[in-house]
Structure 1
Amino acid sequence: MTIEDLRAELDAIDERFLEELRARVEKCVEIGHFKRANDVPMMQPHRIGIVQERAARFGARHGINQDFLHRLYDLIIAETCRVEDLVIGGSEA
Structure 2
Amino acid sequence: MTTTANGDENGLARLRDELDGIDARLLDAVRDRIECCVRIAHHKREHAVPMMQPHRIDAVHRRAAAYGAENGVSADFLSRLYDLMIEETCRVETLVIEEGRHGEEPASKATR
Give the superposition deviation at 1:2.
0.8
- Give unpaired runs (5+ residues) of structure 2: 1-9, 100-105
Is 2:56 aligned against 1:43?
no
TM-score normalized by the length of structure 1: 0.97
Look up the match of 1:63.
Answer: 72
Look up the match of 2:14.
Answer: 5
Look up the match of 1:87.
Answer: 96
Matched AA of 1:89: E
Q: Which runs of 4+ in 1 moved over 6 A?
A: none
Matched AA of 1:54: R
Q: CA RMSD, aligned part only?
A: 0.8
Distance 1:13 1:67 in 2: 22
Distance 2:87 2:26 in 1: 18
Higher relative contact order (CA 8 A, sep 6+): 1
How many equivalent pairs are there? 93
Structure with the largest fraction of helix:
1
Matched AA of 1:83: V
Q: Secondary structure at the match of 2:90?
A: helix
